[in-house]
Amino acid sequence: MSRKLRSIPAAVIAVFGLSLFAVVVPPANAAPPGSDPVTVATGLNNPRQLSVGPGQRLYVAEAGTAQSCTAIPGVGSEFAFCGLTGSVTEVNGADQRRVVTGVPAMIFNGEVVGTSDVDVRGNEIAVLVGGMTAAATARETMPQYAAFGTLRTGSLKSAPLTAADLAVAADVNAYEVANNPDGNPLPDSNAVGFTALNAKNWAVTDAGGNYLATFGTRGESTVAVFPNGPPAPNPFPFPPPFIAPQAVPTDVAVGPDGAFYVSQLTGFPFPTGASTIWRVTSDGQVSAYATGLTMVTSLAWKGNTLYAVQLDDGNFFDGHVGSLRKVTAGGSVHQAVLANLSAPYGVAIRGNSAFLTIDSVSAGGGSVLQVDLR
């Protein structure tokens, strides 16, 4: 299968001309127990993962916009550079501001790729920037591409920051090029999710490379490589009739047992119900924690209960209407906590509230919802 047929969640929807369906929620600043979800942030550009920081602030990774894009030298026309439009937004009660700007963005067949995840501890911020390996061909000679495929850190004491103000803590793209853990014919990196193990070490999922790896002061190491799925029917009238979807791991969270839990989108043809949440021990033992999910993009724990975001509850080609799911350990059926969401992507949990990014394929139309979990 072509490596380019492997896709991560986001604006690939535009490639197929699929429409999105909006969820209507009342504006507010907090979600009372048992209430409907409320909107706590608006005006976001392709929002992806988010996290809870000190002082109960939220931090939202925004991949950027694609209003003005130019070809990336030396790679296919399906790739284009879209300027320094990525950012991170801080949400503090009713106030929101961009604390990091100037992060490079690109498109791959219409999909915006860039700022993908964020974590804040104390005053220290860590920002993960995706970017297909194709961008690496130009980033050494073009400074505006430099942040693609890296995890960067800095101090919010100096906010607002730009990507250039952040130090490189890990070069995920270079790791894929040097090691190619899944052994595919060509390196293919797109780092889209991570979790902080401490202030100086991180576990990162590479949706292009199909693996989980750790980076930081302890060194760089592949923890696990995830398998392709069983062959699924090709929905288009070109050969082969069946295609084994690649794994496409999207997010990682540390469970109450200390193991890694990794979500999975799957690649083309994005079969319904084919996403697995994998449990990975520190020594790399991989087992299925939950099955029967579809296009999972984000995970978060509340005590001993795992919650997952499905970008789409049905088929990739029917429009991205997804949900927040309460995961049943060892099961294949999972309760919908909130459904009929427009392209949901990231989830973070604080106390009894889950925070979700929605309209993750919208420039300026993305939002964050607060959902009561009691």
d(CA 181, CA 224): 9
Q: Which residue has the tokens 């992806």?
A: 48
Please give the chain's pLDDT, 374 residues, in tens. Answer: 233 334 333 333 322 222 232 333 333 345 555 568 999 999 999 999 999 999 999 999 999 999 889 988 877 788 899 999 999 999 999 999 999 999 999 998 778 999 999 999 999 999 999 987 766 666 776 888 899 999 999 999 999 999 999 999 999 999 999 999 999 988 899 999 999 999 999 999 999 999 999 999 999 999 999 999 999 999 999 999 999 999 999 999 999 999 999 999 999 999 999 999 999 999 999 999 999 999 999 999 999 999 999 999 997 777 789 999 999 999 999 999 999 999 999 999 999 999 999 999 999 999 999 999 99
126 contacts 118 by C-beta, under 8 angstroms = yes
Token pair listed for 21 = 């369906």
Q: What are phi and psi of 325, to 5 degrees?
A: -120, 140
Predicted local distance difference test score (pLDDT) of residue 109: 77
Task: Identify whether the C-beta of residue 304 lies closer than 8 Å to the C-beta of residue 353.
Answer: no
Type and span of the H or E element at 221? strand 221-225
| Per-residue model confidence (pLDDT) at position 35 | 65
Query: Residue 141 burial by CB count (10 A; 0-12/13-18/19+): exposed, middle or buried?
Result: exposed
Number of domains in the chain: 1
Give the CATH number of the domain where residue 239 resides: 2.120.10.30
Do you know the residue count of the chain? 374
**What is the residue range of 74's domain?**
3-372
